Chain A
Amino acid sequence: MATAPGHRLSDRVANLWRAIFLVVPYAWLLAFFLIPFVIVLKISFAESLIALPPYSPLFQWAEEATLQIKLSFANFLYLTEDNLYWYGYLNSIKIAAISTVLTLIIGYPMAYGIARASSTWRNILLLLVILPFWTSFLLRIYAWMGMLNREGVINNVLIWLGLTSEPIQMMNTDFAVYLGIVYSYLPFMILPLYSTLERLDLNLNEAAMDLGSRPMRVFFDVTLPLSMPGIIAGCLLTFIPATGEYVIPALLGSPSSPMIGRVLFDEFFYNRDWPVASAVAVVMLIVLVAPIMFFQYLQSREAGAAR
């Protein structure tokens, strides 16, 4: 090739483009995703001050230019002392776990039904699953407030049917929180389940049938194990954000059963105690890091398998 210098130039241009593609999103994520967490970690070790920003500096140049690092574990100790935090974490994990199981129980048959529908129906049903997701999340929770109220739709129907004479208290209970979480996260469960169920090889089911398995056995021995990646993805997509959920417990839940997301929000906005709010966030991250790492590991494995 006679155009060696030209090639070299275009190589350089290509490298420049590669660098831009890599550096721009990388730098953005470092600046606005990673560094913020480092700051949270830093502030969680600081002492509360009344002045703005309400925390003490971590590093101080003491005399003779020695760098002094003051780490205060007071905020973390404070978390262990107050029952509110313990209760908040455990209650969040409990509510998120039960809601995740309920979402799976409701979502699995729906995903399976969609995967087995004819191709025209499949697209329509999928669209119907995604449609509520595109409309506002806050407004859908608000819709449930209208349903669950003492004077709400459900109580009206129950009284009209004669099933109850007094309206049942449903708003501001754990029941309402479970309902809200299951309702909001159902699409996140159905979509990954659907995408694994749709790809399943039906020949395997037929083979099992031919070998004399009954439908129930085929389901538990063949379909269910093969849909495991979808189940895991759907459960993590539900469990992790549900643990830190703020809006649903704040609007539907009772103040006596706080979830940790709400505790953090209140600590920050009402008590204005930044170091303690940061410590709450750090512990929450530690609790959630295990499932997040697991999720990443699964994703990288799946990406590896797809290649």
Chain B
Amino acid sequence: MRNRSIFLMTALILGFAFLYIPIFSLIFYSFNAARLATVWGGFSTKWYFELFKNEQIIDAAILSLQIATVSATVATVFGTMAGIVLTRFGRFRGRTLFTGMITAPLVMPDVITGLSLLLLFVAMELTFGWPSGRGATTIGIAHITFSMAYVAVIVQSRLAAMDESLEEAAMDLGSRPFRVLIDITLPLIAPAMLAGWLLAFTLSLDDLVIASFTSGPGASTLPMVIYSKVRLGVTPDINALATIIITVVTVGVIIAGIAMHRREKQRLRDMQMAASGNS
């Protein structure tokens, strides 16, 4: 018994070291005055200033944030609809195809999704003249398509774990289905929708391959700019960019974690109150 817990502790420590050492080294070298990673040229924040002077990176970051915001929002609406269809609609014709199309994007290699969407956009342009050229719109459509699958799966698992009796009770009390959806179902799955939105947002910000296929000459997203810089070798201003992203994400995740912890505690307290009130 004791041996096992020592083994598991070691596995955890080594595993987390493996996950975090590269990230810490990145942060460390972002404050290095020297250009090469080998030499420590003293503490400096010059790469951060360099980064803010780089208009190409700033523009790409703004474009990426715009695409991510729009595509995450649309993907959350569509994905939530799909999740509700999968858990609450029972059997309908074409259900197998629907389930297949929802789960396949989760595992589909990016190169295939990217290639097939590009060929679609080219065919569409030839047939109806829309979209003329490729850019933010086509990247957005591509991102909605693959991230709605993630939203649908998150919403679906929340709905499957949820008691249907609340919705049935509301129906029995005379609520119309639409009211039940607005007053009962949506508030209950709101945390899952938020989680889905955040996931869709980060997936869109992170995507390189699909964006490269579906983008045109005028539109470069942040990963596309980073990739073209990184291919040429190690560039210190990317260290600074990575450090900023890691800091923002870490702060965000910690705040979300604390908020969720509080809510969970509150819920437990409410349940206890309700239970003691009943007895």
Residues of A within 8 A of B (CB): 10, 13-14, 17-18, 20-22, 24-26, 28-30, 32-37, 39-40, 43, 53, 106-107, 109-110, 112-114, 116, 123, 125, 127-132, 134-140, 142-147, 149, 151-153, 156, 183, 186, 215, 236-237, 240-241, 243-247, 250-251, 261, 264-265, 268-269, 274, 277-278, 281, 284-285, 288, 291-292, 295-296, 299-300, 303, 306
Contact = CB atoms under 8 A, between A and B. Distances in A.
A241 B176 contact: no
Nearest to B156: A303
B257 A138 contact: no
B51 interface: no
B242 A142 contact: yes
B234 A146 contact: yes
**What 10 A-B pairs come out closest when comparing CB atoms?**
A244-B109, A109-B11, A36-B116, A113-B8, A143-B22, A25-B82, A14-B177, A36-B120, A29-B101, A151-B38
B81 A153 contact: no
27 contacts: A18-B89, A21-B84, A22-B85, A22-B89, A29-B82, A32-B144, A40-B115, A109-B8, A109-B15, A113-B11, A129-B19, A132-B20, A135-B23, A138-B230, A139-B242, A139-B246, A140-B22, A143-B23, A143-B25, A147-B25, A152-B38, A237-B107, A246-B209, A247-B208, A281-B116, A284-B109, A295-B107
A292 B178 contact: no
Nearest to A240: B107
Contact of A244 (B82, B111, B148): B111
Given A10-B176, A288-B109, A33 B246 contact: no
B119 interface: yes
B206 to A, nearest CB: 5
B202 interface: yes
A140 to B, nearest CB: 7
Q: How large is the interface on B (under 10, 10 to 19, 20 to 34, 35 or more residues)?
A: 35 or more
Contacts of A281: 111-112, 115-116
A273 to B, nearest CB: 12
A245 B89 CA distance: 36
Given A114-B12, A143-B23, A247-B209, A274 B119 contact: yes
Contacts of B3: 215
Contacts of A146: 22, 25-26, 29, 37, 234, 239
A261 B111 contact: yes
A295 B103 contact: yes
Contact of A264 (B115, B119, B148): B115
